[in-house]
Amino acid sequence: MRGAFFRALTELAERDERVHLVVGDLGFGVVETFAQRFPDRFLNAGVAEQNMTGIAAGMALSGKIVFTYSIANFPILRCLEQVRNDVCYHNANVKIVAVGGGLAYGSLGATHHATEDLAILRCLPRMVVVAPGDPAETEEATHAVAAHDGPCYLRLGRAGEAKVHQGQIDFQLGTALQVRDGKDFTLISTGGLLQTALQVVAILDHGGLRGRILSMHTLKPLDEESILAAARQTSAIFTLEEHSVIGGLGGAVAEVLAESGEMPIAFKRFGLPSAFSSIVGTQEYLRARHGLSADRVAETIRSVLEKSRPAVIAARD
């Protein structure tokens, strides 16, 4: 996703002189091209994220479109007061980009695990929260947040995410992408677990269960219409995210369902516990340890469906 983001950012900068990039002294392998091509629109603020955010807010209030860029929690939690008071309060045109959402920096421990960011950023007034599911969504999301007039948070994977969308996509902030249709259940994914969602549905497909996949790339504003359509048209809804189960995608979807007045529907969140990880390792290893592997998710979905619709499941065995 990093490469897709910088390709899109470079395209934007070529067309619009207002586009600037401010970084927190990292990522030189991916930022050098931008810095060399647009030296007057690039600034390394150093390991000083509060200053980075304040500088970006000031530049934005003078008419610039400013992207800040750092890893995991650093461009948001370390400078949360500046994000809230300098950027959001003034509706500054700042686009905060965090690379390594979830457990991407798993081997570096809890300080580098971005597992509460979506919940925290969702709470901030005027903030748009975006977590694309693959490189194709990332490129479109970069253009979309640049076009949006106001604060945005763009949460990226670290590297190597598979490209799920093979053709053109109709990407719009606040509108989920239906990756696959199905009538037995809906699996709503956000961020870098979109490929896992496809694997889950493929596993269950062999057992005769047809799953719908929604890529909920925007958590705020949330596509409530797609969620309610899934509640009416499928028998269960599951959410999948590399984030705490509190306050992220699962919480947002639960809020919509609880307040909708729709008939009861089976619902379960797949995510991370509200706890600091006591283990370190690769992202894949940590996902598996926290029950986010495709096999574990598929097994749990099947179990939930067996309890909620035992006659239907038995008929398909």
Which residues are CB-neighbours of 271 under 8 A, at least 6 positions away? Answer: 239, 240, 241, 242, 243, 244, 245, 248, 249, 250, 292
> pLDDT digit string (tens) for 271-287?
999 999 888 899 999 99
Q: Give residue 263's pLDDT band: very low, low, confident or very high (50, 70, 90).
A: low
Across the chain, where does the E strand assignment appear? 19-23, 42-44, 65-71, 94-99, 128-130, 152-156, 177-180, 185-189, 211-215, 218-220, 236-244, 266-272
The pairing of strands 177-180 and 152-156 is: unpaired
Which residues are CB-neighbours of 281 under 8 A, at least 6 positions away? Answer: 106, 107, 289
> pLDDT digit string (tens) for 59-107?
999 999 999 999 989 999 999 999 999 999 999 999 999 999 999 999 9
**Where do the domains of the chain lie, and which CATH numbers do they carry?**
2-156 (3.40.50.970), 177-316 (3.40.50.920)
- Give the model's pLDDT for residue 315: 47
Residue in 232, 219, 206, 89 with CA at minimum distance from that of residue 153 = 219
Q: Give residue 311's pLDDT band: very low, low, confident or very high (50, 70, 90).
A: very low
- Give the model's pLDDT for residue 278: 86
């030189």: which residue's tokens? 28
Model-level pTM?
A: 0.94
The pairing of strands 185-189 and 177-180 is: unpaired
Q: Out of 50-54, 254-258, 306-310, which region has the weakest mean confidence (pLDDT)?
A: 306-310
Residue in 133, 160, 107 with CA at minimum distance from that of residue 240 = 133
> pLDDT digit string (tens) for 176-202?
999 999 999 999 999 999 999 999 999
> pLDDT digit string (tens) for 198-244?
999 999 999 999 999 999 999 999 999 999 999 999 999 999 999 99
In the predicted model, what is the mean pLDDT of the chain?
A: 93
Which residues are CB-neighbours of 215 under 8 A, at least 6 positions away? Answer: 133, 137, 164, 176, 177, 178, 179, 189, 190, 194, 197
Render 259-315 in DSSP notation, one character per residue: HH-PPP-EEEEEEE-SS--S----HHHHHHHTT-SHHHHHHHHHHHHHHHSHHHHHH
- Token pair recorded at residue 231: 């509640």
Q: Give the residue-averaged pLDDT of 2-19.
A: 95
Answer for the pair 188, 111: CB distance below 8 angstroms, yes or no: no
Q: Give residue 29's pLDDT band: very low, low, confident or very high (50, 70, 90).
A: confident
